[in-house]
């Protein structure tokens, strides 16, 4: 850790010295700027609410603070010294701990081991682990946060809330001075949340600085001292929580220019589609996990946006329609006919296409050419004596590449070599080739640069004009507002609101999505 004189004087000029300050942090992933010149300061004994929409850059900023990612630019000053974390262990050893949204415990080890893993354990004379010592220490830490869990028990036997206690205890075992909590209450009951807040109060008094990421306004105003709002990877503002209110915060989070984005021309297809038969209709759909009693209709040529926060059940709803998870209740109708969809093959036969959320893990066939990625789903149409006719396949592939404007060296190029936007066009092309009636899009432009985004929006628009029924999940409100005819908002597995594109605003959607309005 080297520190120049200039930096030193700059640091000392700050009055109450923050324990952590990040300055001008910039980060990009495969050409997409996720953070641009972001500043944040943390003081001892405060709860700092980090706010922003999905994709605003909160998690990336925190991952940089915790050493998971290295910034492309900017500096991290911790306890008055500039630091460079090489990995998460670096940051953790210096007192920065993260409690992740997803629990990151080892389920088959005991609570005690999980808590003390990562600390240097006292060993017996033979260099072996002293189990009594582990359990004793773990018990002390647990009781300091008012938990009476048995450190000998297996983590796999715990509820989610109890596992979170273990995570907190682990952070404490490292004598953390900064604790980052990413949506800690997402899976807790009200009672457990109260308990968590008591623990947070205790930590505050001990002088721990806490970064608190949450979408729940009531929590934010209950426990935080200060807030920082990020939007599109940039810092919007920062200040004491007493100087703001929920409405103001939501405005800060969403206030964005719409002009650079594609806006669908809705002059022809007004809401006068109602006398047509819906292409897709859901009646009282529930799955076994999160989706509860969802009913909706989508008409030919209509684009319906599905808004909501991460974890609201949007992806699960779409997966149910595509036969990827079981219905526990409800019925799906395609063009008025009741249908059973048990697997993707059934869905595809019914003319349902699905562009999944994660392009790399679910959408692309890696190591195969652009051509095969586009044409695989319609191979049955290009066979003679059961053999594939590549001459025809090549011609069709070229046509799709040209029509969708896929930028590729050739149709034989490995699909992994394309940019995100072009990969997404390939995934969409794959489905167009089967001539679908319903197109389900899950975050169709995530990780795609602005130019390709607009092109994909145009493609979606043209598909709707050709009579497809489109259901599009997006966490980007400008995208939802720009492309959809109608907007459905989901919160905790249920549809909370249906807004026409005329009445919808970013603020309205956010209020329904955060559960502020029920």
Partner 1 sequence: MMNINVQSSSPSVVTFKDRSKQIFNQLGMLIILALLIVVMSVIAPNFTDSSNILNVLKQSSITAILAAGMTVVILTGGIDLSVGSTLALSGVISVLLSNSGVPVVFSMFAGAAVGYIAGAINGYLTAVPKLPAFIVTLGSMTYLRGLAYVITGGYPVVLASEKFKFIGAGEILGIPTPIYIMAIVYIIMFVVLKYTMFGRHVYAIGGNEEAAHLTGIKVNRTLINVYSISGLLAGISGVVMAGRLFSGQPMVGIAFELDAIAAVVLGGTSFVGGRGRIQGTIIGVLIVAVLTNGMTLLNVDYYWQQVVKGIVIVIAVLLDRLRSRN
Would you state the structure tokens that stand for residue 347, as one six-digit string?
């869905």
* Cα–Cα dist 222/364, whole Å: 44
**29 vs 390 by CB, closer to partner 1:** 390
> Nearest approach, Cβ of 492 to partner 1 (angstroms)?
26
> Nearest approach, Cβ of 441 to partner 1 (angstroms)?
13
Under the rule (CB under 8 A), what is the footprint of partner 1?
322, 324, 344-345, 347-348, 354, 356, 361-368, 372, 376-377, 379-380, 383, 386-388, 390, 402-410, 413, 430, 432, 435, 455, 458-459, 462-463, 466
> Nearest approach, Cβ of 482 to partner 1 (angstroms)?
17
Query: Among candidates 210, 184, 204, which has minimal Cα distance to 42?
Result: 210
By three-state DSSP, how is residue 502 classified? coil
Instruction: For the beta carbon of residue 229, count every other beta carbon within 10 angstroms.
Output: 25
Q: Which helix (H) or strand (E) holds 371?
A: helix 370-375
**83 vs 388 by CB, closer to partner 1:** 388
CA atoms within 13 A on the CB side of 476: 25
> Nearest approach, Cβ of 155 to partner 1 (angstroms)?
25
The answer to whether residues 55 and 446 touch, using CB atoms and an 8 Å cutoff, is yes
Burial class (CB in 10 A: 0-12, 13-18, 19+), 19: buried
**52 vs 421 by CB, closer to partner 1:** 421
**192 vs 449 by CB, closer to partner 1:** 449
> Nearest approach, Cβ of 372 to partner 1 (angstroms)?
6
The answer to whether residues 46 and 205 touch, using CB atoms and an 8 Å cutoff, is no
> Nearest approach, Cβ of 424 to partner 1 (angstroms)?
12
**37 vs 414 by CB, closer to partner 1:** 414
**32 vs 186 by CB, closer to partner 1:** 32
> Nearest approach, Cβ of 440 to partner 1 (angstroms)?
11
Lookup result for tokens 């396949």: 393
> Nearest approach, Cβ of 332 to partner 1 (angstroms)?
17
Looking at the DSSP bridge assignments, the partners of residue 97 are: 179
**264 vs 496 by CB, closer to partner 1:** 264
Looking at the DSSP bridge assignments, the partners of residue 307 are: 489
> Nearest approach, Cβ of 507 to partner 1 (angstroms)?
32
> Nearest approach, Cβ of 407 to partner 1 (angstroms)?
6
Q: Classify residue 117 by its DSSP letter.
A: T
Looking at the DSSP bridge assignments, the partners of residue 239 are: 227
The answer to whether residues 136 and 128 touch, using CB atoms and an 8 Å cutoff, is no
**67 vs 421 by CB, closer to partner 1:** 421
**207 vs 417 by CB, closer to partner 1:** 417
**407 vs 518 by CB, closer to partner 1:** 407
* Cα–Cα dist 497/488, whole Å: 6
For residue 360, CA distances in Å to 180, 209, 476 come to: 28, 36, 20
Q: Where are the alpha helices (DSSP H) in 117-255?
A: 131-144, 160-173, 190-205, 217-223, 246-254
Query: Among candidates 53, 58, 46, 57, which has minimal Cα distance to 241?
Result: 46
> Nearest approach, Cβ of 365 to partner 1 (angstroms)?
5
**455 vs 476 by CB, closer to partner 1:** 455
**b/e map of 137-146 (b: 16 or more CB within 10 Å)?**
bbbebbeebe
> Nearest approach, Cβ of 489 to partner 1 (angstroms)?
26
Would you state the structure tokens that stand for residue 153, as one six-digit string?
């028990």
The torsion angles phi and psi of 200, rounded to 5 degrees, stand at -60, -40
> Nearest approach, Cβ of 325 to partner 1 (angstroms)?
13
Sorted by sequence, the CB contacts under 8 Å of residue 204 that are 6+ apart come out as 45, 46, 47, 210
**240 vs 435 by CB, closer to partner 1:** 435
Angle (CA) 194-19-43 rounded to 5° is 45
Would you state the structure tokens that stand for residue 214, as one six-digit string?
């949450």
**233 vs 447 by CB, closer to partner 1:** 447
For residue 270, CA distances in Å to 437, 461, 502 come to: 20, 14, 11
Q: Number of helices (H) and strands (E), helices first, in the chain?
A: 17, 22
By three-state DSSP, how is residue 158 classified? coil
């Amino acid at each position: 850790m080297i520190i120049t004189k200039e930096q030193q004087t700059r640091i000392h000029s700050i009055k109450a010295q923050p324990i952590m300050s990040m300055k001008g942090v910039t980060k990009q992933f495969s050409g997409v700027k996720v953070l641009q010149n972001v500043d944040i300061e943390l003081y001892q004994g405060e709860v700092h609410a980090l706010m922003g929409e999905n994709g605003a850059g909160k998690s990336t900023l925190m991952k940089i603070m915790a050493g998971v990612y290295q910034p492309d630019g900017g500096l991290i000053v911790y306890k008055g010294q500039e630091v460079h974390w090489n990995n998460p262990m670096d940051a953790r050893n210096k007192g920065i701990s993260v409690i992740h949204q997803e629990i990151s415990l080892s389920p088959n080890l005991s609570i005690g081991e999980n808590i003390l893993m990562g600390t240097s354990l006292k060993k017996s004379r033979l260099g072996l682990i002293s189990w009594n010592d582990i359990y004793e220490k773990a018990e002390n830490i647990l009781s300091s946060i008012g938990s009476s869990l048995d450190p000998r028990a297996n983590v796999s036997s715990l509820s989610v809330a109890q596992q979170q206690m273990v995570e907190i205890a682990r952070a404490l075992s490292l004598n953390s001075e900064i604790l980052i909590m990413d949506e800690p209450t997402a899976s807790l009951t009200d009672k457990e949340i109260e308990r968590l807040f008591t623990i947070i109060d205790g930590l505050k008094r001990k002088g721990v600085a806490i970064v608190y990421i949450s979408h729940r306004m009531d929590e934010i105003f209950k426990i935080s001292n200060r807030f920082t709002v990020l939007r599109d990877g940039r810092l919007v503002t920062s200040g004491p929580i007493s100087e703001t209110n929920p409405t103001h915060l939501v405005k800060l989070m969403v206030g964005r220019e719409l002009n650079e984005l594609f806006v669908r021309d809705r002059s022809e297809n007004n809401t006068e589609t109602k006398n047509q038969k819906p292409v897709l209709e859901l009646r009282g759909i529930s799955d076994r996990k999160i989706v509860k009693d969802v009913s909706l209709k989508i008409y030919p040529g209509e684009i319906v946006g599905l808004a909501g926060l991460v974890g609201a059940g949007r992806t699960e709803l779409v997966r149910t329609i595509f036969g990827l998870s079981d219905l526990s209740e409800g019925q799906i109708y395609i063009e008025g006919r009741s249908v059973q969809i048990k697997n993707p093959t059934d869905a595809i036969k019914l003319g349902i296409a699905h562009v999944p959320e994660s392009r790399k893990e679910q959408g692309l066939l890696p190591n195969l050419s652009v051509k095969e990625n586009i044409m695989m789903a319609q191979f049955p149409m290009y066979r003679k004596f059961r053999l594939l006719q590549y001459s025809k396949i090549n011609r069709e592939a070229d046509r799709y590449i040209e029509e969708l404007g896929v930028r590729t060296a050739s149709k034989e190029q490995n699909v992994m070599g394309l940019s995100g936007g072009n990969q997404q066009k390939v995934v969409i092309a794959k489905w167009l080739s089967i001539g679908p009636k319903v197109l389900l899009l899950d975050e169709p432009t995530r990780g795609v640069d602005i130019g390709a985004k607009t092109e994909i929006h145009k493609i979606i628009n043209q598909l709707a004009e050709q009579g497809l029924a489109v259901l599009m999940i997006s966490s980007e409100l400008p995208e939802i507002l720009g492309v959809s005819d109608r907007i459905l908002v989901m919160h905790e597995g249920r549809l909370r609101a249906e807004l026409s594109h005329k009445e919808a605003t970013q603020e309205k959607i956010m209020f329904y999505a955060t559960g502020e309005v029920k």
